[in-house]
Structure 1
Amino acid sequence: MDKNETPIRYDDTRPGHWPEPFEEIKIVSTLDSATQKAWFYKPKDTTPRPLLISLHTWSGDYNQKDTLAKMVLEKDWIYIHPDFRGPNWTSKACCSKYALEDIDQAIDFAIAHANVDTSRIYVNGVSGGGYTALAVYMRSRHPIHTISAWVPISDLAAWFNQSRIRKNGYSDHILACTGSAEKILNVDEAIARSPIYWRTPIRETRLHIYAGVYDGIQGSVPITQSINFYNKLVKDFKARDQTDQINERDEGALVQPEEILYLLEHRKPLKNMGVIGDRKICLQKEHNNISLIIFEGNHEMLPEVAFEILMND
């Protein structure tokens, strides 16, 4: 993105413009027979093509504008933009079993109706879509190649308190989707909808997590939501693969407390770590098939960078 360009706001839920060749389709849930709408693109090219599942944000739905849709057309990928129960303020939305099954069924639909290269299935989400992307990583039944989660939420219980302090309305959404009464959070239900508390799966999927270092001050999701989830996966992989202490390689893969403190205090790179797009990288970690990049930015996705990473992964 050009430095003079206005950043895309990921609380913007205005409908997008979905002309042909995008097609509005309907999928009936196998769990409760509810109808899920989605926007779908099937290339005329009948050779096996990559599939992108692009996830809407916290307050959005399948009609929400998607900056990746134009790039999909240019590269002639298969594409689906599912609804998965719409905005996250009802019990069947917000990473419920219904919402996650809706996403799996959207993938099923694409595979059934287009020639998907099943070795190249990609999921991308930003903000509330990043939250759902983490949930898809943890629980999808599909062999997804790469999942990118931009500025995601991972812990609803923590985000409830963070949002209540900011008085931005998201805490009320969390109360609604968790069935909480009298403004008192149903903590157990919030935990049940939080990927950070779920069992880490054994899978080959690559997971990339991105967060803007100013988020949580200027934006709605603190960077600790990304860092803590990444560290959880590293620790879970370590516990599965080894028996004793974290070795030197694993220690370096974890985001250390002093690194977190530095980022929260200074909001700038720990050292020269290069750039992602035109943004400085403030912190970069990786372990196995997962990576974390904290970049100089706010609550945002870098669209061109996001699509390029998926294309080349």
Structure 2
Amino acid sequence: MSLFERLDDTQRLTGRLAFGVEYDGSAYCGWQRLKHAPSVQAEVERALGKVAGESVRVHCSGRTDTGVHATRQVAHFDAPVGRSQKAWVFGANANLPRDIALRWVVPVADDFHARFMAVARRYRYVILNQSSRPVLERANATWCRDPLDVPAMHRAAQVLVGEHDFSSFRAAGCQSKTAQRHLHFIEVHRHGPLVVIDVQANAFLHHMIRNIVGALVDVGRGEQGEDYVAHLLEVKDRTLASATAPGCGLHFVDSIYDERFALPREPLGPNLLAFLGEWTGERELPDCRWVRYRRGQPEAADRNFSASSAEFGRQQPSSQE
């Protein structure tokens, strides 16, 4: 996918369609449709329904929490009528508020499911680390006025890589039946006043990334030692951990799928970090059981894992950040 790829306006697309959606989550109580509050899902379904002329139900790769943003949320729906690619994208965007936009729509196989087929999810947390409060970045970065020791934060975070019980980093109201997750990588870098925490896993628990960020910021400020994160991982007790970081700095930047689905590749967001130049799908995934399972290659020697993962996939949200 190029930055200026033309959308086809000749072929009518029906059947199962996948799409990428970008949104500023400031005005919404997360992705998932709610009866009592505004949600991104409700707005997207309303807009696609206008294009289709009848109701449309969408399924996404993972929930996001109140105030959290996304630059590459992937979702799918079963089109009740035929419309061109251009009509789906431009028509939906014409009916969406200015803080939500579809980026692309492509046909996918009938067995594609945005949630159950996702191999990994990736987020970036952006901190503006300077003494004065942010102005232009106030809605999409978290402000920290205290100097942060970024190398110490990065070193402290590496204990989280791999498969662990992340009970110390899950919200009290997290609905997942298991706190076990496989974190592929976590990196902390400074780019001038911007401190970026880049993290990818098979899935995330409710508030997991924001709770990790809260702990890392305490390390960066010098309020905790570099062994603090390892201690929290070991004790498995959320009540002993740091405060949850604000939602405004968190961006859902990638949902990764098996190559056979051939979803569009695009620059990772947010645009504030465009200078990093990385596109979706560039990094190799770890050779682990979660990835093999999602790619339809469960380990024959570990049937208990396959069965429990299938049950987990049916009942639990794949990402709740």
**TM bracket (short chain):** under 0.3
Question: Whose strand fraction is larger, Structure 1's or Structure 2's?
Answer: 2
Q: Which has the higher contact order (CA 8 A, sep 6+)?
A: 2
Question: Whose helix fraction is larger, Structure 1's or Structure 2's?
Answer: 1
TM-score (norm 1): 0.27
TM-score (norm 2): 0.27
